[in-house]
Amino acid sequence: MAKQIRRNQVEAIAAALSKHYSTDGGGSGLGGPKVFPGEHEESSSAWIISWEECPDYEWVYNLDLFSDLCDQHAPGFFAEPINHFAMAFYPS
């Protein structure tokens, strides 16, 4: 079985992502980034981040940011966009 990212690691990345975009998860719409099981977006990743109303529409394509966040909160994993509002995480 392949190594899987833990929920607490993805939650830490989501919190840092929210801080990066200066949001507290409140406001209009769906709020800040949310952590879901991978099957929520038909992903083989154990946990994903979904954020449909991020202030930066193309947030999932900021791979430099996610590389830094993975290095800090989930060493040994990399981020891969699922679509324009969800990010999955896989072993490096």
The order of strands in the sheet holding 34-37 is: 34-37, 47-50, 86-91, 77-83
pLDDT score of 62: 95
Rounded to the nearest 5 percent, the helix, strand and coil shares of the chain are: 35, 25, 40
The answer to whether 24 and 71 are in contact (CB under 8 A) is: no
Cα three-residue angle 27-28-32, rounded to 5 degrees: 60
pLDDT score of 74: 98
Tens of pLDDT, residues 67-81: 999 999 999 999 999
Q: Read off the pTM.
A: 0.89
Tens of pLDDT, residues 6-52: 999 999 999 999 999 876 554 444 578 999 999 998 899 999 999 98
**Quick check: helix, strand or coil at residue 23?**
coil
pLDDT score of 23: 67
Q: What is the CA radius of gyration of the chain?
A: 12
